[in-house]
Structure 1
Amino acid sequence: MNGNQSTRLGGAGKLWSGHSLPLANCSKLRSDDIDVVRTHMSSMVCPHKLDIDGDKPPIAFCHNYAKLRSLSFSATDYGNPYGKVTIAIPPLLDFFVVQIVLAGEARISQGEDSYVVRAGELNVIGSEKPFIQVFESGFRNFSMKVPRAKLDELLIEELGLAPGDLRFSHRPMSLDGGANSFAQMSLAICNDIDQNYRGFCHPRTIGTAEDMLQRLLLASVPHNHSKLYDVAARPPAPFHVRRVEDYIHARADQPISLSDLIAVSGVCGRTLHSAFRRFRDTTPMNYLKAHRLERARAALSKGLDGSTSVTAVALDSGFTHMGRFAADYFARYGEPPSVTLRRSR
């Protein structure tokens, strides 16, 4: 698909034009100065490098922008008639960027991994590793910035998972199935804001709109918790299960015994064990171990300062037997903890 075609987002004739930008009435910046553009986009996304090669082509940069509460939307066109735009972005630790290409294509490189995302495709960017995106003239995209903490909260609510471990597939996907639903809702919200209808920004609807977009994202784009997330929701767990989970989350780095968990729950051991089996498919102590492993993996994946050690992370996560920790970690994640740490540096 080239810049003269449209990016189809669904049936019934609905589409986003590939030769114009969404949010046309929400202009944030128009500029022909690459230095101004670099400063602006660094402030809007994160500090990054931006270069244009090919005999210093002129630009007619356009950035349209809108925001709900914590989710923000951008539509960009660098307006370069020729040459290549290269954007080098550091690790994105606090948020994900969901990108829908409207026209043209971009090559994204991350270490030895490289792929092309084309018009009519969606991909999610967010990693502990830096990456580079390169595109030529005619490239236009729409993107949504999603705080990682918001998705963590949703996964805690739905699955009882510890925060910090969410990893999306970076591979481009066509706007079919759930991805189409996600794109259509994004389009509806942006059109609502652009035309100043303000329905999705109403105090009684804005939170629900954000929640639905985030749930659609988790349902549409493959991630490391997809298998659990795609299972039909169970009835709410009883209070004694949630009380034990809260206790584990708050004190995972401290010694915890089964008798401690029974005492916290306020029920007998058999009742607690049965409730965890029914509502969490595990035992209280296995839940504790799984939470500690998730906590350790999150810390190892963020060990960017060079001073983090496997032993320190294991101890901080509540493990006291290093050999058992290494074996349990390998069984769960398919690699030694040292490999996870090394990859993050």
Structure 2
Amino acid sequence: METQHRFGAAASVPVLANSLLFRTSDLEEARDRVSRVFCSHRLRVVGERGPIGAEMYFRQIRGIGVGRILYGASVVIEPGQLDSFALIQMPISGAEVVEHGGETVNSTPDVASVVSPTLPVRMRHGADTEKLVVKIDRDALERHCRQHLGGNLRQPVEFRPEMSLVAPRSLSWVRLMNWLCDEVGQERSGEDTILDSPLFSAQIEQMVIATLLLSQPHNYSERLEDNGPSIAPHFIRKVERFIDENAQEPLTIGELAEHAGVSTRSLFAGFRKYRSTTPMHYLKDVRLQRVREVLLQASPDSTTVTNVAMQWGFSHLGHFTSDYKRAFGESPSATLGR
């Protein structure tokens, strides 16, 4: 059975149900197993001590890792500085208080915490709180930041610790996390998947880190925003026109790259740099807009949301409805019922 998660704009997708690392009621075992993935830390139960009811799911993909952690009891977690990695924590349910670098984040399903490697952190995790966590190796983070800036970093990358998951700036991050969790959730034990491909895992690493650097303020944000020309290359505008004219067709990233006359890697990099998205996300956004246009003109007596969604390539109606609500602030049935 798949476990569902919710964060940000009420997204709901499978959460790593096939990547279980451990499940335990022993405090020391929980601390030891989490330490192996992250770092050494102190872990204690707050209030009357009982079974900790901890479980953890985790999947490493090159320089990033995505996981889910649950503690059944209220606990305090004190790792000091993370040093070798950054950590983004997004509650699926419940809440936690994160004290980091002299600031306090009250983290909920709408507010994530972003923990930088070089600043001290202390967390108070509420009982029965589940959170999605994304671990980013510091070396990979700083390497990608250097590549974007075209020079060395004089200081470590330090993020603002609070991230609103419902703010427009964060929606690309939320969409990316939903997609990544969905992909990991589809894996089957013992089978190689596209996530095991060195080429694809490198693209995922680049996409996750670039999206974080562009969506969450940090001490290099100004330089990143000023870096590079604002006018997109011809091949990006060419692909955008092609998508606009052929959005109802079953387009693939390979076909888009072939039409543009560039490699898929260059196409991804161009869209990330100049549009802060990916070609396929751009395609999805165009299709969502077309669905909305049809629904606004249609009659509920002669049209169904399912039929219109299918016509525009949305075969998973649950994901479609979540994406539509996130984009337009209402359900597709509400649009049709106007």
The reply to whether TM is greater than 0.5 is: yes
Picking from 9, 21, 24, the partner of 1:31 is 24
Report what 1:78 is aligned to: 71
Q: Which amino acid counterpart does residue 38 of structure 2 have in structure 1? A: V
Cross-structure match for 2:127: 137
Number of positions where the alignment pairs a residue of Structure 1 with one of Structure 2 = 222
Q: Verify the 8 A CA contact 1:29 1:64 in the aligned structure 2.
A: yes
The 3 A distance-change label for structure 1 pair 205 and 118 is same
Shift of 1:110: 3.8
1:157 CA displacement: 1.5
Deviation at 1:114, TM superposition (A): 2.5
- Give the root-mean-square deviation of aligned CA atoms: 2.3
Q: Is the 8 A contact 2:159 2:216 kept in 1?
A: yes
Aligned residues: percent identity?
Answer: 20
Does 2:139 correspond to 1:149?
Answer: yes
* Structure 1: unaligned runs, 5 residues or longer: 236-345
- 2:215 is matched with 220
Cα shift readout 1:277-314 (whole Å, capped 9, x = no counterpart): xxxxxxxxxxxxxxxxxxxxxxxxxxxxxxxxxxxxxx
Change (3 A) 1:232 1:101: same
- How far, CA to CA, are the matches of 1:121 and 1:209 in structure 2? 23
Aligned to 2:12: 15
Aligned partner of 1:53 in structure 2 is 46
Q: What's the CA shift string for 1:16-70, capped at 9, x where partnerless?
A: 4xxxx81011101011111100111111110000000222122221101111112
Cα distance, 1:175 vs structure 2: 3.4
2:115 is aligned with 1:120: no
Q: TM-score, normalising length from structure 2?
A: 0.60
- The DSSP-based 3-state class of the residue aligned with 2:112 is strand
Classify the secondary structure of the residue corresponding to 2:187.
coil
Q: CA shift at 1:111, angstroms?
A: 6.5
CA distance in 1, matches of 2:48, 2:148: 52
Unmatched runs of 5 consecutive residues or more in structure 2? 231-338
1:162 aligns with 2:152: yes
TM-score (norm 1): 0.59
SS in 2 for 1:188: helix
- Deviation of 1:172 after TM superposition, in Å, equals 3.5
The residue identity in structure 1 corresponding to 2:174 is A
Q: For each residue in 1:227-247, what CA deviation from the matched residue of structure 2 results, as whole angstroms up to 9, or x when unmatched?
A: 121236249xxxxxxxxxxxx
**Counterpart residue identity of residue 55, structure 2:** C
SS of residue in 2 equivalent to 1:187: helix
Contact 1:178 1:216 (8 Å CA) reproduced? no
Are the counterparts in 2 of residues 100 and 121 from structure 1 also a CA contact under 8 Å?
yes
Aligned CA distance change for structure 1 residues 35 and 185 (closer, same or farther; 3 Å): same
Q: Using the alignment, how far apart are the partners of 1:15 and 1:191 within structure 2?
A: 10
Partner of 1:65: 58
Q: Distance in 2 between matches of 1:71 and 1:200?
A: 12
> Displacement of 1:151 after TM fit?
1.9
Equivalent residue letter for 2:52: I
Structure 1 SS opposite 2:156 = coil
Aligned AA (1:15):
S
Separation of aligned partners in 1, 2:211 and 2:105: 24
